[in-house]
């Protein structure tokens, strides 16, 4: 995991901070979560969700990555705001929900095959997810979701030639997650 910001020694402090925040308020109306699928793609993905009323919430997600895909090394971040409509009879933040979202991403790209090829990539997109969130013991949160997304971006070459394949980020995609967290 050379060059990756997410290492095992970072995971324990993140979880300890999450639990420290959550130890204070049983009637909390906010959650802090980490997507436990993200390390598979060498990414750290955190979300903060604020309940607005009994059937809706606003969530702000942030990720940082240092992965490689299709011969391209990339480092960068993304921000994903979403508005959740809870459809079940239980009060937010628990139950089945649908959530439209938008996403901004910004990456530095380097060609693994040609060391002098470097570029910046940014994209904007959105989509709709369907999910279910459980709250256990009024404190521990488990959130699972899936849905279609679409992104469109541009590459600005800094050096070398434009040989970057952005197909993994442009166009239609699938947004999935399995998040673990706490109410704060």
Q: Contact, 149 vs 111, CB < 8 A?
A: no
Model pTM score: 0.82
CATH number of the domain encompassing residue 15: 2.40.160.20
pLDDT tens digit sequence for 14-36: 655 555 554 445 467 999 999 99
Range of the domain at 36: 8-183
Q: How far apart are CA 120 and CA 106, in angstroms?
A: 7
- Mean of all residue pLDDT scores within the chain: 87
Between 4 and 96, the more confident residue is: 96
The pLDDT of residue 103 is 98
Between 70 and 149, the more confident residue is: 149
Nearest CA-CA partner of 6 in 67, 49, 61: 67
* 2 lies in some domain: no
């Amino acid at each position: 995991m050379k060059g990756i910001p997410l290492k095992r020694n970072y995971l324990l402090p993140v979880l300890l901070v999450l639990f420290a925040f959550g130890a204070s308020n049983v009637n909390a109306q906010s959650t802090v979560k980490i997507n436990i699928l993200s390390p598979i793609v060498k990414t750290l993905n955190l979300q903060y969700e604020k309940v607005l009323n009994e059937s809706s919430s606003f969530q702000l997600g942030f990720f940082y990555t240092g992965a490689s895909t299709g011969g391209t090394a990339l480092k960068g971040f993304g921000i994903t705001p979403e508005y959740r409509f809870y459809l079940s009879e239980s009060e937010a933040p628990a139950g089945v929900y649908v959530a439209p979202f938008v996403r901004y991403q910004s990456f530095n790209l380097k060609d693994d095959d040609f060391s002098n090829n470097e570029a910046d990539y940014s994209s904007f997109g959105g989509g709709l997810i369907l999910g279910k969130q459980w709250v256990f013991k009024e404190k521990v949160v488990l959130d699972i979701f899936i849905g279609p997304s679409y992104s469109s971006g541009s590459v600005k070459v800094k050096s070398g030639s434009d040989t970057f394949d952005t197909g993994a980020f442009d166009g239609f995609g699938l947004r999935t997650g399995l998040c673990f967290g706490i109410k704060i």
